[in-house]
Amino acid sequence: MPPSKKSSKSKQEEPVEEVSVTGSGWVEKMNEAIDNLSESRTSTREESLDTITKIFAAHHVFSQIENRLEEVLGLLKKSLTKNNSVKEACLASHAIALTFINLDNISEGEGDDLYRRILPSLRNTIKNSEDVEIKISCLQTLALITYTAASDIDKLLVRDYLFELIETDGMDFNVEGLSPQERDDLFAEALKAYGILYASSFATGFVDFDVLWEEVEKVMPMHEMLLESSDKDVRIAAGENIGLMFETVNVFLVKDPNDEDEEEDEEEDMVKPEYDNMDGLIHTLKDLSVDSNRRRAKSDRVEQKSVFRDIVKTVEENVKPTEELKINGRVLLFRGWGKILPLSAFRSCLGQGFQHHLKTNAMMKEIFRYSTGFSARQAQDSDDSGDEDDLNTAGLSNVDKKYLYDEHKKSRTKQIRNARISKETSPQY
C-alpha cells in the first residue's frame, strides 16, 4: 500500500510543475525544453515536448521563438517522424499546431513556406502510422495549420485528401489493424477536419457559388450516408458539416420574403439548384433530433438531439447557431457553424490557454473577427442596430454579413409598417 500512496502523491505533484511554466521563468524553461529536443533519450524528449505544449498554449510566444522558428519546427518534425513512441509523436504533433497558432506576426509567404515544410510529414504520418492516436493527433494538427497558414489551393488539396480518407473508408490509410471503434474515431476526426477547412474556404471572403455548389454536390451524399453510422461522434460530425454546408449555400439562395425588390429576381430564383435528396435528408436529420433509441446511452441521445435540433433549424429555416464566451465580464458572440466549428478546434488545441489567446493573439481576432471592447449587452446587440449607411461589414464572414443585412431589413420593414399603421389610425382634424 505505501508504494501506491507514493505513486498517487507523485501524480498529484505534477500539476505543480505545470503551473510553474506560467511563472516569471517560463522563457528560460521553454528554451531549455527546445534544446532538449535534440537529446537521444526518448523520455527526455517527451518531457520537453510536454513542457513546450503547455508553454505554447499558456503564452503568446512568437517574439520568444521568432529567431529560432525554423529550428523549432525542424526539431518537432523529427520527433513526429522518429516513430519511437506514441506519446512523443502526439506531443510533437500538438506542439506543431500550437506553433502555428502563435505565428500571428509573419507574412503570408513566410507562413506558407513553413507550412509546406511540415505538410508532407503530417500527411505521411496519417497515412502510414499504425496507431490511431497518432493519426488523430496529426489530423487535428493538419486541419489547424492548413486553416491558419495554407493558400487556397493547398486548402483545396487537403480537403480532397481528407475526403478521400472518408469516402474510401481509409483504404489507403493503413487502417487494417485498427478496431471498429478506432476506425470510427478516425473517421469522426477526419469529418471534423474536413468541416474546418470547408469553413475556411466557403464561410468567409469572396466565394464563387459554382465552386461551392460543386463541392456540396460532391460531398453531401457521403455525409448523408454517415448520418446512419452506429457511432455517435461520426453522426454528429457529419451533421454539423451538413449544417455548415447549408449555411454557406443559404447565403446565396435564401432571400428575405419582405424584400420587395426581389420580385425582379424571380426568374433567377427558379433556376437555382437544390440538393437532390432534400426531403430524405431533412427526414433523417429530424429523426436524429428526436432519437429515443434505448440501445444508445442516455447522455449520447441528449447530446445528439441538442446538436441536430440546431442542424435542422439551419437546413430548414436558415437559423444560425450561436455560441457565447465570457472573457473578463464581457461577452463574445460567435454566430454560425462557420465560426463555431473552427472555434471548437482552437479551443481543443489550446486547452486552458484558449482565453489567453483570445485576448492577446492577433491571429485569433483576425480569424474570428471579434472585439473585446463591448459590454455583454452591446456584444449581443451589436449586429442588430444602426442605419444601413452605418453598417460596417469589413472583415465579416458571409454568414454575418447576410445576418446583419437581414436584421437591418427586418427592422426597417417593421418601422415602415408601424409608421403606416400609425398614419392610418391617426385621428383626422
In Å, how far are 25, 32, 41, 72, 288 from 49, measured between CA atoms? 17, 11, 13, 11, 41
pLDDT score, position 75? 98
> What is the C-alpha to C-alpha distance for residues 85 and 212, in angstroms, rounded to an integer?
41
Distance of CA 393 to the CA centre of its chain: 22
Integer Rg of the chain from CA: 24
Q: Please give the pLDDT value at position 13.
A: 34
The three cell numbers of residue 88 are 512523443
Tell me the pLDDT tens digit for each residue of 182-198: 999 999 999 999 999 99
Query: Given this model, what pLDDT does residue 274 score?
Result: 87
Cβ pair 194, 241 in contact under 8 A: yes
Rounded CA-CA distance 364/104 in Å is 8
Angle at which helix 42-58 crosses helix 86-101, to 10 degrees, equals 30
CB within 8 Å of 90: residues ≥ 6 apart: 133, 134, 137
Alpha-carbon distance of 59 to 300, in angstroms, equals 35
Query: How high is the pLDDT of residue 19?
Result: 38
Own/partner contacts of 300-306, CB < 8 Å, gap of 24 or more, are 300/232, 303/232, 303/236, 304/232, 304/235, 304/236
Return the residue matching grid coordinates 489547424. 144
Cell numbers at residue 104, please?
Answer: 500571428
Cα 170 from Cα 6, distance rounded (Å): 44
How many whole angstroms separate alpha carbon 190 and alpha carbon 166? 7
Q: What pLDDT score was predicted for residue 254?
A: 72
Q: In the prediction, which pLDDT does 330 show?
A: 84
Pairing outcome for strands 322-327 and 330-335: antiparallel
Regions of the chain where pLDDT drops below 50: 1-19, 262-263, 266-270, 374-396, 412, 415-416, 418-429
DSSP 297: -
* pLDDT value at residue 380: 42
Residue that the C-alpha cell 436584421 belongs to: 407
Q: Exposure pattern of 239-260 as b/e (b: 16+ CB <10 Å)?
A: bbbbbbbbbbbbbeeeeeeeee
Q: Cβ contacts of residue 69 below 8 Å, gap of 6+?
A: 99, 103, 114
Whole-structure pTM value: 0.81
Rounded Cα distance between 44 and 40, Å, is 8
256-281 pLDDT, tens per residue? Answer: 555 555 445 544 443 568 899 999 99
Cα separation of 281 and 276, whole Å? 9
d(CA 54, CA 320): 34
